Every structure is written in structure tokens, then in C-alpha cells.
Amino acid sequence: MLDYLSLRAVAAVIRTGSFERAARQLHVTPSAVSQRVRQLEDRLGTVLVVRGTPCTATEKGAWLCRHMDQVAMLETDLLEKLPALDGGSVDTRPVTVRIATNADSLGTWFLEAVANFSRETGYLVDIAVDDQDHTAAWLERGEVLAAVTGMSRPVQGCRQSPLGILRYRATASPTFISRHFADGVTRERLARAPLLTFNRKDGLQLRWLAETMDIDTSPPTHWLPSTQGFVEACLSGMGWGMNPDLLTAGHLASGRLVELVAGTPVDVPLFWQVSRLAAAPLEALTRHVLSVARSRLVASG
DNA sequence: TTTGGAAATAGACCCGGCTT
DNA sequence: AAGCCGGGTCTATTTCCAAA
């Protein structure tokens, strides 16, 4: 059987980054923490903590840490149902939920849902950002308990719900348009006008070029890994890029941004996937995510 | 290279729970 | 009651590593 005293010590060292802070958190001496960690490592025959400043988790240590997060969440859930047990030896630190999302969701609608959830439950969140086509992998690896994904295929062991569509438009400032597309948005001009790309995984601009303009070359690009910065860069006339309507509706209405080719949105359907293991405690999160998504995203088919 | 901080290690000791 | 055992504290010392 797993020794939860030792498990807690390892999780505390990894969370706080040092044996001393972990000891303070657990109300024991650093020596005791060191002994617990060493003991568990010996028993499992594997290193769990990379000693350093700060101390970090090995792959197995990270697994163990996430296991402790889940245990803490289940305990919190249990205590709510059995308040008489409260005040025992149970760790009463706030629970941290690790979630993955794509940057544009985080920059538009997702934070509102997370904030509502956190206020309601008191849970802390640890948000990992990756491309919407890669967040499912975080779930598969067990590194997060829930994720906003671009994949409809349910991840094994997860419950999936459609969220709606994040609608993007190819946008640029009027000055950019007049400088690069004075005689119209032609294929020749598009092949030369600088575009904006979020990061190496961002294929939205090229997708729009291919799907609506039948262009399969890669124009010169700026690299700009910031959702807000992306809009700012468009406003300032650095280049054109695919921006979510949620961020640019006001600019499009006021004319500070213009759609390159009117009425050519690119739709990215999003899905919410939650680990079944933690589905009950995360019910509140799912409720808030679905509610905010319903009000902010475009309804899918 | 020196130095200082953090962690590991080892030994002496204490304490509570069990067993005899 | 005595003794054992596990797990803790305290202290001194060593080791390691990064910053000066």
C-alpha cells in the first residue's frame, strides 16, 4: 500500500519547490521530509524529486503529485458530504485543479468560467496552454484533469461535451489594407503581405489562405505568441492575422479593423473533455464552462 | 577559486503505541 | 513495568551546486 504521509511529503516538496517550505507546510522538520521522500523513493525504486533550486518533479513524481491532487479533490468532495469527519487529520489546503486550454479560449471566454468555478468552490487552478489540437494529448498523458480541445474524438476515460465554435476572421487595419492591397485583395498580393502567426503549431492563417483563396505558399510572417498581442499587432498594421470575433467584434464595427475578404470566417469547433475519475468533483467546473461557452461561442450545427 | 545556501547523512535522543 | 519499534527532533557534519 502507498504511504500517504510520504506521498504528501513528495507532493509538498514538488509544489513548494523546497524541502524546507514543504516541512513548514506539513509542520515537521526538513529532516523528516527528507526521510519520508527518501523512504518512498527507496520503496518504489525510483527518483521522484529532482533536487535543485527549486526542486522539481521527475516524470513519476509528477504522476504522484497529480494523484495527490485527485485524492485531495475526492477528500474535499467527501468532506462536503460527511461534514462530521471534518477537523480530522485531513489536509485542508485548497485543492488545485490542472486544466489545459488553447490560448485563444483563455484570452476570450474561458477565464470567466474558471473564475466562476473558483469563486464557487474555492479550488485553485493550474492552467496549461497549448494548441487546441494538442490539449487532448495532455489529457491522455494524465497531466491535466480537464481540457478545452479541438478534437471531437473523446479521449479515453474522459467525458466529452461540445462547447460551440470559436469563429475567426482574417483581419487587418485599414492602413495595412491600403498599403498592401491598394488594388484589391489578390492572390499575388496575399502571397507577399506579411502575416501574423501565433506559434509553430498555429496553422489558421495558412488554412484560411488555402480554403478561401486557394493559396498554398507561406507568405512572410511575424511570430507573436500572445492572443491580445495578436490583435494589437493587427491594429498597429504590422500584418494580418486570424483573430477571434470575440476579441475583434468592436474593432470591426468601428472600422479600426477590416476583414480582408468579407464573410470568410474560419470556424474552430471546441470541445470540453473531463476525466471520468474526477468528473463528480469537477461537475461545477463543467457547469460553468458549458454555461459561459453557450453564451459566448457560436452554437455548433 | 571561494563561498554560502540547501540538502543529505549520521548519531544521539525522545516519545507513544504495542507486546510481553 | 520493561523493552521494542517506528517515527520524530536536534545537531553536527558532509556534499553539492551555483553565484560572486
Nucleotides of C under 7 A from a protein CB: 7-12, 17-18
Query: Contact A138/A99 with Cβ under 8 angstroms?
Result: no
Q: What is the pLDDT of residues A160-204, one digit of tens each?
A: 999 999 999 999 999 999 999 988 888 889 999 999 999 988 999
Nucleotides of B under 7 A from a protein CB: 6-11
Angstrom distance, A122 CA to C1 C1': 52
Q: What is the pLDDT of residue A298?
A: 94
Nucleotide closest in space to A51 (CA vs C1'):
B7
* CA A138/CA A149 separation, integer angstroms: 10
* CA dist A62 → A35, A86, A246, A255 (Å): 19, 28, 35, 49
Q: What is the pTM (predicted TM-score) of this model?
A: 0.75
Nucleotide closest in space to A30 (CA vs C1'):
B7
Angstrom distance, A31 CA to B9 C1': 10
* CA A162/CA A132 separation, integer angstroms: 13
Angstrom distance, A9 CA to C8 C1': 14
What domains can you pick out in chain A, each with its CATH number?
4-85 (1.10.10.10), 96-164+269-296 (3.40.190.10), 167-267 (3.40.190.10)
Q: What is the pLDDT of residues A43-98, one digit of tens each?
A: 677 778 877 667 777 778 888 888 887 777 777 777 676 655 444 434 455 678 88
* CA A58/CA A271 separation, integer angstroms: 30
